[in-house]
Amino acid sequence: MGDIKVGDKVVVRLKEYFSGEGSVRPLVQGVVMFVNTTANFAVIDVGNYRVSYWLNEIAAYNENEFEYTYRNRVKRTSVSTTPEDEVLQPEE
């Protein structure tokens, strides 16, 4: 993804304790609020929460689609902006 900077739009997988669905962890869009490259983490503003993520858990945001890379796996997913489509499904 390159260097992460404050103000960048990014995609992260919501932490379990914020999703309210147990093991369901939807992909969500957020904005970088703080970056510490020495400690290898960033704080992301996701809706009403500011959550810390390891840098390898953060993916770049693209207007039409995004890639989420985690443990050498890539999933291509369409982004929907409607509230009822909060849980994004992978394309087949």
| C-alpha pair distances (Å), 16 with each of 26, 40, 53 | 9, 21, 13
Tens digit of each residue's pLDDT (9 = 90 or more) over 38-78: 888 888 888 778 888 888 888 776 655 444 444 434 444 44
Band of the pLDDT at 21, cuts 50, 70, 90? Answer: low
End-to-end CA gap in the chain: 24
Phi and psi angles of residue 84, each rounded to the nearest 5 degrees, phi first: -75, -15
